[in-house]
């Protein structure tokens, strides 16, 4: 079994707060709650669907480093800061995951760390086919 491995997205929050963007443990990849920042520019769009799409871009980069892709995601847990954000975020999710169809849930919460953050998503992926 491959050793435990940490993956970083380059976000300054990771080192400052003591976590990894993802942890590979065996054939599983646990992706931390990820918000809609573009980590190359450290900017975040105002539009919640654009934030969700940025999350999925981060997931794709993390999974590529882990040796997989978005098709390996088996579970999504989505948090939004307003019920009004559910439809746009779920539509963005459908754009990316319509053929993959992971187990998924969405929760409306009071808020995230920063006001500009409207959505945060966690994921679990399996790199090897499980039987």
d(CA 51, CA 119): 7
Residue pLDDT, tens place only, 4-32: 999 998 878 788 999 999 999 999 999 99
d(CA 120, CA 19): 15
The ranges assigned to domains in the chain are: 5-126
d(CA 109, CA 102): 22
Highest CATH level, class, for 5-126:
alpha beta
Residue pLDDT, tens place only, 90-123: 999 999 999 999 999 999 999 999 999 999 999 9
d(CA 116, CA 50): 12
Alpha carbon separation from 19 to 1, 37, 130 (Å, rounded):
23, 17, 27
The pLDDT of residue 1? 58
């Amino acid at each position: 079994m491959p050793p435990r491995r940490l993956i970083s997205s380059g976000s300054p929050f990771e080192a400052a707060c003591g976590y990894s963007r993802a942890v590979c443990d065996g054939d599983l990849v646990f992706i931390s709650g990820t918000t809609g920042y573009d980590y190359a520019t450290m900017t975040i769009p105002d539009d919640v669907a654009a934030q969700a799409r940025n999350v999925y871009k981060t997931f794709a980069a993390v999974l590529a480093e882990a040796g997989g892709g978005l098709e390996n995601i088996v579970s999504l847990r989505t948090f939004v800061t307003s019920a009004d954000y559910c439809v746009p975020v779920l539509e963005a999710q459908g754009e990316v995951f319509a053929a993959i169809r992971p187990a998924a849930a969405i929760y409306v919460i009071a808020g995230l760390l920063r006001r500009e953050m409207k959505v945060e998503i966690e994921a679990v992926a399996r790199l090897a086919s499980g039987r």
